[in-house]
């Protein structure tokens, strides 16, 4: 359980910590100036960024790939949703912990057989898991609410927050911004935990397992336990992200978690940069404003947004970006920093990490 303790112990550098805190506060300030629509988009993006970070940890640090994180999201969302549906007044923290625990348990169940699997087998098996989740949610109607899902009203704007707002739409504006602020704070905390985990003993062991599992075993790293830990953490992040995402929508429905969502998560991770904190932030931002991006592309190409082509434009753009990034810049947008750093620094160039897995 050393990995668990290292979540809150500061393992990362001071500068990274300060940067993260600064970014969180900056985003909170920005939400004051954004219109309510952009605030809700940002909130969704923050929830997705948590999931992308969990996936990024799994893929980038332990070298395992998962197409099941939309399934873990669904597990967390339903755990939170079923509870919040019946106990709307429970403190949010408790609901979140519930989502984390159930997400983690589902990860553990998937991880046990997966520790014996590699790459393609693992990806296929996690895909089978996420493919099974939606029909399960649809079938067990008495618990999950079936096709229609469950409603929950846990995300109530506190009274003191309302005082900042005035005018005719005060309540709506306040609620949109409260959701965004809450999501950003939760994301900030989860990024802080992950930053610690990245640089902890477990994180280092994880990278060794990824690069050379024989060497890791010789050094006393328990392969099965390390790989399982990676999965549990990733699934817990997905569970929390899924719960947050559903709470923002005030409902949890099976159609929120199709297999396509796993592909979207993969795209966001690869676009941002696999295995990095900033990559997950970039992924979250891209997700937040993907609707605007798609609308822009539609208007540039003159495609009618309500037509067939317009409705599927997002899928086409995302998957083309995923393929192109993987073929030509597998380390994602984050890797742009290396040529930039070389440009702006007088001292000898920062060596590009050659041993990076991807």
Partner 1 sequence: MSVFLSSPFMHNIFAGLAQGIIYSLVALSLVIIWQSTHVLNFAQGAMAMIATYIGMTEIDRGIGYWWCVIISVLVGMALGGVTERVLIRPLYGKPEINPIVVMVGFLGFLEALAAAIWTSTTRNITEPFSQIYFKSNGHLVFLSSFIIFQIVLAMGIMLSVAALFRFTKLGLQLRASALAPEVSRLLGVRVSRMLTIGWILSAGVGAIAAVIIASGNFGLFPTDMDGIFVASFIAAAVGGLESPLGAVAGGLIIGLAEQFILAYWSPDVAPLGGIIILVVALMIRPQGLFTKNTIRRV
Name the minimum Å distance from CB 223 to partner 1. 13
* Residue 270 in tokens: 């690869």
- Segment near partner 1 (CB under 8 A), from 45-53, 169-177, 197-205, 322-330? 322-330
308: contact with partner 1 by CB under 8 A:
yes
Q: How far apart are CA 21 and CA 216, in angstroms?
A: 34
Nearer to partner 1, 127 or 282 (CB): 127
Applying CB under 8 A, the site for partner 1 has a residue count of 48
Q: Site map for partner 1, 233-272, x if CB under 8 A?
A: --------------------------xx--x--xx--x--
Side-chain-facing half-sphere of 156: CA atoms under 13 Å: 11
108: contact with partner 1 by CB under 8 A:
no
116: contact with partner 1 by CB under 8 A:
yes
Q: How far apart are CA 351 and CA 178, in angstroms?
A: 43
Q: Hey, what long-range contacts does 205-211 have (CB within 8 A, 24 or more apart)?
A: 206/61, 206/62, 206/230, 207/61, 209/62, 209/63, 210/61, 210/62, 210/63, 210/357, 211/63, 211/355, 211/357
Residue pair 69/238 in contact (Cβ under 8 Å)? The answer is yes
Nearer to partner 1, 122 or 176 (CB): 122
139: contact with partner 1 by CB under 8 A:
yes
Q: How far apart are CA 174 and CA 338, in angstroms?
A: 41
For residues 200-239, which are near partner 1 according to CB under 8 A?
Answer: 214
Residue 217: Cβ-neighbour burial (10 angstroms; 0-12, 13-18, 19+): middle
153: contact with partner 1 by CB under 8 A:
no
128: contact with partner 1 by CB under 8 A:
yes
Name the minimum Å distance from CB 270 to partner 1. 6
329: contact with partner 1 by CB under 8 A:
no
163 phi and psi angles, rounded to 5 deg? -65, -20
Interface residue with partner 1, options 113, 305, 339, 353 (CB under 8 A): 113
Beta bridge partners of 151: 251
For residues 32-71, which are near partner 1 according to CB under 8 A?
Answer: 59, 63, 65, 67
Contacts with partner 1, residue ranges (CB under 8 A): 59, 63, 65, 67, 113, 116-121, 123-125, 127-129, 131-132, 135-136, 139-140, 214, 259-260, 263, 266-267, 270, 308-309, 311-316, 318-320, 322-323, 326-327, 330, 357-358
């Amino acid at each position: 359980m050393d990995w668990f303790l290292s979540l809150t112990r500061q393992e990362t550098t001071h500068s990274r910590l300060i940067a993260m805190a600064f970014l969180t506060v900056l985003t909170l300030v920005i939400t004051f100036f954004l219109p309510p629509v952009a605030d809700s988009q940002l909130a969704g993006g923050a929830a997705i960024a948590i999931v992308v970070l969990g996936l990024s940890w799994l893929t980038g640090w332990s070298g395992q790939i998962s197409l099941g994180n939309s399934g873990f999201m669904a597990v967390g969302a339903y755990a939170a949703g079923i509870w919040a549906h019946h106990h709307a007044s429970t403190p949010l923290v408790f609901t979140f912990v519930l989502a984390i625990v159930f997400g983690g348990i589902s990860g553990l169940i998937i991880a046990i057989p997966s520790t014996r699997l590699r790459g393609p087998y693992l990806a296929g098996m996690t895909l089978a898991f996420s493919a099974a989740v939606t029909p399960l949610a649809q079938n067990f109607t008495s618990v999950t609410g079936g096709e229609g899902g469950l409603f929950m009203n846990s995300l109530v704007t506190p009274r003191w927050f309302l005082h900042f707002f005035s005018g005719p739409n005060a309540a709506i504006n306040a609620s949109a911004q409260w959701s965004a602020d809450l999501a950003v704070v939760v994301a900030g905390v989860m990024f802080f935990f992950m930053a610690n985990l990245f640089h902890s003993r477990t994180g280092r062991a994880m990278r060794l397992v990824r690069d050379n599992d024989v060497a890791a075993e010789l050094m006393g790293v328990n392969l099965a336990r390390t790989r399982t830990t990676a999965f549990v953490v990733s699934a817990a992040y997905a569970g929390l992200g899924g719960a947050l995402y559903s709470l923002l929508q005030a409902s949890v429905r099976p159609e929120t978690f199709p297999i396509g969502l796993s592909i979207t998560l993969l795209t966001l991770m690869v676009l941002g940069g696999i295995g990095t904190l900033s990559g997950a932030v970039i992924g979250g931002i891209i997700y937040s404003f993907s609707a605007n991006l798609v609308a822009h592309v539609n208007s540039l190409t003159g495609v009618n947004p309500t037509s067939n082509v317009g409705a599927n434009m997002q899928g086409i753009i995302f998957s083309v970006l995923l393929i192109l990034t993987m073929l030509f810049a597998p380390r994602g947008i984050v890797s742009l920093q290396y040529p930039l750093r070389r440009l702006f620094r007088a001292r000898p160039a920062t060596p590009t990490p050659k041993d990076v897995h991807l």
